[in-house]
Structure 1
């Protein structure tokens, strides 16, 4: 019986096994079992540690985000307070002035343009907007194409004018911008023949700065959109301006829309160093 047992053991392990070997193997098995249990406990402990670290990191990030938003709120409270209101867009559009400093006259309402001969004829829109300062004295920067009849036309450098507004002061700006007839036709075709967004768009802007190194720089955009031109069906490649007396399915009335977009504010830890106010990068260790 013992010999058979040893033979079976020898077949199982590829060698002759003594009784002392069985004791040793049993000890190894027990050690492995204990080690495995300890390893499993270590894995669970490591998992709990990772979960705790992850929770702590999330809590830290939430705290940082809250602190950042609180600082932005404080800076926003001290930012300039401006009220911007759109004015009217003159209709019909404006001709180009005979000189750079001369205001152009309105086109005749019933004027017809022929293509391709008139494709590069400039057609302009004249519009206005008013800026009022409802906070402390502040400097603003107005960008866009100033009309020749605007008193700041001569002061505009690269399409920008800076001026200081005292509390409750307001100023109205006259703007004028021209686009060739071909642009107007292209936008019409996008809108009504290709079912795409199709407007002649003009943009102006009002920038402001709270004057502090740690503070706010903001911008308010004024958008003018127009789709007020249509083909003259009976005259081939002819085009005309929209008219309230001649409303068709080809265009809407009024043909111009002016909108003041929401202010966009950028927050800085240091303007002089061009350092935006933002969450610090996470560090390891």
Structure 2
């Protein structure tokens, strides 16, 4: 399914994932840094930054004098509040474009697609105590490669091996006369449906068990780890496992700090 962001960002898909994330991180860092420089009073920002540094030095010197330290802390809070209010102004101009970029990245860079005529797994995850049968209902274009559509729930998971033609589908699960649907996208393009869908009941930030014990349904899209085949970095246990977001975060941190220093942005 084409996105209106494809003409803007589609070229990233032709680059190695690590290089692609490096380039987009640099572009976003340049955009936000210039936005801060052009949309804020840099003279005032510098004065506030210098004042904060001076107050922090005073706090270190007064660590044995709680009363004076408390007064200095009040000044720090007030100055920091002014600094934050001014630095937030560019966010109003950059937030929506950045969110659009992030939305596109999460649906194109996080996983590899499910390819036409290639086997993939469709897994239903249940509560530990869930028992009984669950039925898989497939569209005509998707075929079951092994076993039966009706399966017994064992060890809280049921997995079906499937394969299908290119297309955007909905696969249903039926349990105790209730039907659950999951979108499945099979394509040669660098795009995919959400890999996992939760069916737990949610009230604000609290989730509770679904009545039939179904927690989630997940697909077997391979996750993209940009540094997993990069010389030297692939041997580092933590960095080699970074997904697209943490790769962006690492590059963004490096570029943002460097650009602020080079361009003297406060």
Larger radius of gyration: 1
Kindly indicate which of the two structures has a greater share of residues assigned to helix.
Answer: 2
| TM-score of Structure 1 vs Structure 2, range by shorter chain | under 0.3
After TM superposition, the score normalised by the length of structure 2 is 0.28
After TM superposition, the score normalised by the length of structure 1 is 0.26
Kindly indicate which of the two structures has a greater share of residues assigned to strand.
Answer: 1
- Does 1 or 2 have the higher relative contact order (CA < 8 Å, sep 6+)? 2
